[in-house]
Amino acid sequence: MPNVPPEPERTIAYRDAVREALRCALKADPRVFLMGEDVGRYGGSYAVSKGLLEEFGPERIRDTPLSESAFVGAGIGAALGGMRPIVEIMTVNFSLLALDQIVNNAATLSHMSGGQLNVPLVIRLATGAGRQLAAQHSHSLEGWYAHIPGLRIAVPATLEDARFMLEAALACPDPVLLFEHLYLYNLEGALAPGVRQVDLDHAAVRRPGRDVTLITYGWSLYKCLEAAETLAGDGIEAEVIDLRTLRPLDEATFIASVRRTRRAVVVDEGWRSGSLSAEIISRISEQAFYDLDAPPARVCTAEVPVPYAKHLEEAALPSAARIVTAVRALLARGGSG
């Protein structure tokens, strides 16, 4: 293999990293096309697809009617026909209008056909709260979809994952749902020059530590990193795990971490009842119970529809301060070790 010179470090916004991923996918494979509401002439509700219509034309950047069930179904049909569709659903709550297509068709066709029918479909969804979009547009439903066999659920939180996870998703023979937290689109930073590809199978240790493991994904990763900085001021070293993929869960990574730190706090923007955090804590209890110095804890969104008012929205959502409080309570309960 010829030596490839390293790319220089460059500053990029999350939305631009996603757009770059889309552009590279469209250039690399003529079977790839993007469709969804306002992805073309308007440039996307979050400006992610801005300029792609002019570059690739209306056959590859397709504005759709306001019918999620119809255009997700069309995406499934295109995938079955050998295309590599990328379907954008404007906000995750709109995906409920296509739930039948996603759960009863995309997720099941491979299994029901004995592997004869693959559905290499990628669905991109804006998820999460924090932008005062009220209860109708502030859902974090990725835990729901992670319940469904036949789907892969990935959550790009970093600039590198925003840039390179789409390529891995398009290479997957199964339907992949990419949940992009709406609060991340404005995130800017340096894109690591050494990263050229990522996978859909492994979690990542974003910060090493010895005293407690913080397990999270998406926008909550940055709240955990902020909390870890605060805790470090008191001599508490928190290890931060970015799950990255929610189905399948890379339990080996977080179980190994918990066995070392002997304590765990799961941070999940979903509601506590029936949440992904409950699944993670169950797996920790099943596999690392005797390694724990204290029961696992979790920080989730309050059990209410997410409020519109800014101060109420902030009170309802996980925060760095709540994570710090949970860690300190865990250490007090289990001893300082």
Tell me the catalytic residues.
68, 137
Nearest of 203, 204, 161, 157 to residue 184 by alpha carbon = 157
Fill in the amino acid letter for 305.
P
Rounded distance, CA 185 to CA 174, Å? Answer: 26
Give whole-number Cα distances, 182 to 59, 75, 91, 229, in Å: 27, 23, 9, 24
For residue 176, what are the contacts with CB-CB under 8 A and spacing of at least 6? 121, 122, 123, 151, 152, 153, 154, 169, 200
CA 256 and chain centroid, separation: 22
For residue 37, what are the contacts with CB-CB under 8 A and spacing of at least 6? 45, 63, 64, 66, 71, 88, 90
